Structure 1
């Protein structure tokens, strides 16, 4: 039986985040709170960096819901709605919700690094990297 009234709080310093988690091309994902780092049962939290003029690979986060808070930069979140590409252009202070299994990618068209804080409804950093969802269109 767990004594929830006397469980210790955990302090993870920004300099202690680890890159020892699932990665996607074009971005750096850093893990702070997870089952592995603090013993969480239902939550994963971390930070992602996307360099200027860079796009991540296409991916999804399995059954986990994902909440994203934009710290700096102006990342663009791209997903498909049927045959149509949808682009959500963000700025610092904005939030994005990514439903379970929703394929997407992050793009950073700006000159400043994009930094976001991520929270997931899983104790693991679930990432499923995908082949390109938007193959180039051949033009005559």
Structure 2
């Protein structure tokens, strides 16, 4: 479990967390979580007090579109290591774990 801060007007790279599931609690700011549903990008806007769940191996990125306010989240993972696998693009995960 850990506290993560994303600065204003920033985005992470596209990535997944391997076989780790991640629970996210938004402490402050207004992050946007982006993943691909197989047809198009899906954007989920969140705010303080919101919870999100990222399933294992799901390619995604986090964005902070606000030019002034950082985003602060608490992330709890189901593995001891903070796994982060960078990806060149977002894609839909198939049932076998491949795209």
TM over 0.5, yes or no? yes
Report Cα offsets for 1:17-65 as digits up to 9, x if no partner. Answer: xxxxxxxxxxxxxxxxxxxxxxxxxxxx111111111111001000011
**Structure 2 gaps, min length 5:** 92-99
Cross-structure match for 2:35: 79
CA RMSD of aligned residues (A): 1.1
**1:95 matches 2:44:** no
**1:125 matches 2:82:** yes
So what's the TM-score if we normalise by structure 2?
0.87
Cross-structure match for 1:114: 71
1:123 to partner: Cα distance: 0.8
1:83 to partner: Cα distance: 2.0
Work out the CA distance in 2 between the residues paired with 1:86 and 1:107.
12
Work out the CA distance in 2 between the residues paired with 1:82 and 1:91.
26
Cross-structure match for 1:61: 17
Task: Return structure 1 stretches of 4+ with deviation > 4 angstroms.
Answer: none
Q: From the two aligned structures, give the one with the greater strand fraction.
A: 2
Q: From the two aligned structures, give the one with the greater helix fraction.
A: 1
So what's the TM-score if we normalise by structure 1?
0.62
How many residues get paired? 90
**Structure 1 gaps, min length 5:** 1-44, 135-140
Cross-structure match for 1:104: 60
1:102 to partner: Cα distance: 0.2
Instruction: Point out the structure with max Rg over C-alpha.
Output: 1
Report Cα offsets for 1:65-106 as digits up to 9, x if no partner. Answer: 110000010000000000211000000000010000000000
Structure with greater contact order relative to length (CA < 8 Å, sep ≥ 6): 2
